[in-house]
Amino acid sequence: MHHDPDQAVSEVIGTVLMVAMVVMVAGIIAAMLFGMPFIPQKPTLASFSVEIIQVTNSTEPGAQAVPAISFHQVSGAEPAFFGANGTNILLSDPSGITYTVIPAITGTKIKVGEQFFVFRKQGSPGNFQVTNNQSSICGNGQFTPHGTWHFTITDEKESNIVILQQDLTL
């Protein structure tokens, strides 16, 4: 009886290929279960207009006006709303301390043309809030220390990128 010497080689190759296929299928299933994206997310492309405005403290009629940051989206995609897993606003004061602005509003998307206001609530030096209603700004205080502040809008939901970064003198 004559044996083919290549018969064992093809069985080994077949076994290796089967193990490799099982590992690949297990990797694909694990990626789907753990939420790893197969296709990279498109970055959020949006353009914003930012300016400093003076607002009066509605809790103290006749009080001196204090600055607030006014911004609105000019064009581009509508980013997710402010807060966890959405669009975040960061303020860095002249000494380098960074604050996360707290949303005082709720919603799902930032609409083109919708105006927002960032202000400092009196009482706590790090209590900055964002609202879309200028008349709801009350109890606001000065941005201290005075100097150049860094205003940053980031998209934390889709691509974790900086959408806008601008220096403001407050």
Of 156, 153, 155, residue with least CA distance to 165: 153
The confidence score (pLDDT) of residue 127 equals 84
pLDDT digits (tens, 9 = 90+) for 137-155: 776 778 888 899 999 988 8
Predicted local confidence at residue 19, as pLDDT = 95
* Closest CA relative to residue 88, chosen from 1, 12, 163: 163
* SS3 state of residue 24: helix
Signed CA dihedral, 126, 90, 156, 131: sign only: positive
The model's pLDDT over 55-92, given as tens digits with 9 standing for 90+, comes to 876 566 666 778 889 998 888 877 777 766 678 889 99
Q: How far is CA 43 from the centre of its chain?
A: 11
DSSP 28: H
CB 67, CB 128: distance < 8 Å: no
List Cα–Cα distances, 2 to 8, 9, 31, 142, in angstroms.
14, 17, 49, 95
pTM of this structure: 0.68
